[in-house]
Chains A and B, each alone.
Chain A
């Protein structure tokens, strides 16, 4: 158990809909990252937050957005869903911030999104 929690575990929704995925980082970790894992694209970095502020963007679509709240939990919002958005979505957290030279990221169990 990495200490990172994600809800829900599974999500089935229809095209055009909007969903919110939730992540709670490990206690004390200030950085949160979101990744997408699909069969054709592999594991891809979407976005990073550090202590409530966006720090970096990866291959995140404009239809997707995220935020990190004062209690450090994060939400990933996916809108106007398409069939191709079906994937596993992982959240990771890092002790970066508590120990500036630490970059290791610990992953949650993921949310499996199925768009029908």
Chain B
């Protein structure tokens, strides 16, 4: 994906293994969280979301876990494929009042090794 920041964390995994990408958020008032995938030259692509009244949500090959106590979010990707190579961002917002601009994390570069 587009390089974000000079020191983007990198996670390297073998094809077929599971990947876990972590994210810490700072705003205790945030009640909605999204994971995005950004490939090189493209805009962020919605993967999965979760509301603060849940602690786990599953999609196709992806699972998001939310721990509000420690303000931590994780994205698990099962059976990682070459097409999963990208930069992954977590995003948060306090959606009350209808103003829900997202605050993004710095991103993690996921590299899939054959």
**A110: B residues at CB distance < 8 A:** 42-43
Q: Are A2 and B5 in contact (CB under 8 A)?
A: no
**A55: B residues at CB distance < 8 A:** 98-99
A39/B3 contact (C-beta < 8 A), A104-B49, A107-B43 known? yes
Q: Are B104 and A44 in contact (CB under 8 A)?
A: yes
Q: Are A56 and B106 in contact (CB under 8 A)?
A: no
For chain A, give the interface size range. Answer: 20 to 34
CA distance A14 to B91 in the complex (A): 33
**A96: B residues at CB distance < 8 A:** 98, 100
CB-nearest residue of chain A to B104: A43
Residue of B2, B4, B5, B101 ringed by the most chain A CB atoms within 10 A: B101
List residues of B whose CB falls within 8 A of some A CB: 2-6, 32, 34, 36, 42-46, 49, 89, 91, 93, 95, 98-107
